[in-house]
């Protein structure tokens, strides 16, 4: 009975969100790791940068970003003329918090001339201190575009190590990582393989090195979805945040997906609810803004990446 009530409540909330969205001339963006019902009301579902670019292209006046803080900041960097809302203000990213602008400035002072490749999972202030940004899908290409060895990759050492290995280059790595992906162990993968011997193992490069070594395919969230769609295989063990399963089931209804570990849940991504999305549209808050001098410098680092 409670399930039915929940369903009805979600439908009511979804209806309210749709009406308010129209009234506010808003666009709703949701990351693949969001709750299923939040993904379902979004105009665009994708990975973080893809979403910010999509938002910049729309003529909406308001962007509601169902994701975490750095994602809403990226939208504000690319769309300074729009109102950017983050329905849950406390939805942060522990990995993004592992590097701050002050520590980065100190590092640059210690190693003059070092170039900073900054994963988009970082704050606007950190992007402003960086030379170029990258995503999990283009990190290899971005690093390839830079000459020499004095390159620092921030903040995710796993993604940096993965890209360096592909290129056969040595990078300086910042000691940051994703707490959710870090919970996945090699034992989890081996156990899942035993239970599903025909399944391909697909993982995100934010996973630890020993996990990546066990994988059949490593890719960004969008990359994992494309791989599953194009693969002849019918079963997959998925090594990234649980929210992606909703999208995988939608685009591959005839295939089976098994989460590599029940611990692959990001509390920050799951903190956005339909009720919070509705309230954000009602009150036009919490609003995310970026100081203009930081925005301009952060945008330069993003633009250098987009130019590639």
What is the average per-residue pLDDT within 112-130? 97
Give the CATH number of the domain where residue 144 resides.
3.40.50.10800
Question: Tens digit of pLDDT for each residue in 282-304?
Answer: 999 999 999 999 999 999 999 99
| Beta carbons within 8 Å of 81's beta carbon, 6+ residues apart | none
**Residue 40: per-residue pLDDT:** 97
Q: Domain range holding 166?
A: 96-178
* Global pTM value: 0.95
Which residue, chain included where needed, has tokens 């410098």? 297
What average pLDDT score do residues 99-114 get? 97
pLDDT of residue 239: 98
The token duo for 288 is 């995310």
**Average pLDDT of the segment spanning 120-139:** 96
> Is 299 part of a structural domain of the chain?
no
Phi/psi for 115 (5° steps) reads -100, 140
* Residue 233 pLDDT level (bands cut at 50, 70, 90): very high
In a domain, 307, yes or no: no
Euclidean distance between CA atoms 297 and 294, whole angstroms: 5
> By C-alpha distance, which of 43, 104, 31, 17 is closest to 70?
31
54 pLDDT above the threshold of 80: yes
Are residues 202 and 163 part of one domain? no
Question: Mean of the pLDDT values across residues 8-32?
Answer: 96
Residue 88 and residue 10 share a domain: yes
pLDDT of residue 278: 98
pLDDT (0 to 100) of residue 1: 59
Q: Does 52 have pLDDT greater than 90? A: no
Whether the pLDDT of residue 2 is over 80: the answer is no
Number of domains in the chain: 3
Is 298 a member of any domain?
no
In angstroms, the CA 205 to CA 168 distance is: 16
Domain shared by 137 and 101, yes or no: yes
Residue range 114-124: mean pLDDT, rounded:
97
Average pLDDT of the residues in 29-47: 97
Average pLDDT of the chain, as a whole number: 96
144 lies in the same domain as 122:
yes
Residue 305 counted as domain residue: no
Q: What are phi and psi of 287, to 5 degrees?
A: -100, 135
Residues 259, 239: Cα–Cα separation, whole Å: 7
Q: What is the structure's pLDDT at 234? A: 98
Q: Which of 4-13, 105-114, 156-165, 257-266 has the lowest mean pLDDT?
A: 4-13
Choose among 226, 264, 253, 273: nearest CA to 88: 273
Q: What is the pLDDT of residues 189-200, one digit of tens each?
A: 999 999 999 999
Q: DSSP string of 124-162?
A: HHHHHT-SEEE-TTTHHHHHHTS-SS-EEEESBHHHHHH
Q: Which segment of 18-22, 54-58, 209-213, 218-222 scores lowest on mean pLDDT?
A: 54-58
- Distance between CA atoms of 25 and 28, rounded to whole angstroms? 10
Q: Is the pLDDT of residue 140 over 90?
A: yes
- Residue finishing a domain among 144, 178, 212: 178
């Amino acid at each position: 009975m409670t399930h039915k009530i929940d369903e009805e409540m979600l439908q009511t909330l979804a209806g309210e969100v749709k009406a308010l969205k129209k009234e506010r001339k808003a666009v709703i963006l949701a990351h693949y790791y969001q709750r299923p019902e939040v993904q379902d009301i979004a105009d665009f579902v994708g990975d973080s940068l893809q979403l910010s670019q999509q938002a910049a292209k729309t003529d909406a006046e308001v962007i509601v970003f169902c994701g975490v803080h750095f994602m809403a900041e990226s939208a504000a960097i690319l769309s300074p003329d729009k109102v950017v809302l983050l329905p849950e203000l406390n939805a942060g990213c522990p990995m993004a918090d592992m590097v701050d602008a002050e520590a980065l400035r100190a590092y640059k002072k210690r190693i003059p001339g070092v170039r900073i490749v900054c994963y988009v999972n970082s704050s606007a202030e950190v992007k402003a201190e960086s030379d170029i940004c990258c995503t999990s899908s283009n990190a290899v290409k971005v690093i390839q575009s830079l000459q020499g060895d004095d390159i620092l990759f921030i903040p995710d050492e796993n993604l940096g190590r993965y890209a360096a290995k592909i290129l056969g280059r040595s990078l300086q790595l910042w000691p940051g990582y994703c707490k959710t992906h870090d919970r996945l162990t090699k034992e989890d993968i081996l156990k899942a393989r035993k239970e599903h011997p025909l399944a391909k193992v697909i993982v995100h490069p934010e996973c630890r090195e020993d996990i990546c070594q066990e994988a059949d395919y490593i890719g960004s969230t969008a990359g994992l979805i494309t791989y599953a769609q194009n693969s002849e295989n019918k079963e997959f063990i998925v090594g990234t945040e649980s929210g992606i399963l909703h999208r995988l089931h939608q685009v591959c209804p005839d295939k089976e997906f098994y989460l590599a570990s029940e611990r692959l849940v990001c509390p920050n991504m799951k903190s956005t609810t339909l009720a919070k999305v509705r309230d954000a549209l009602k009150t036009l808050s919490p609003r995310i803004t970026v100081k203009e001098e930081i925005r301009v410098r952060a945008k330069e680092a993003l633009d250098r990446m987009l130019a590639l």
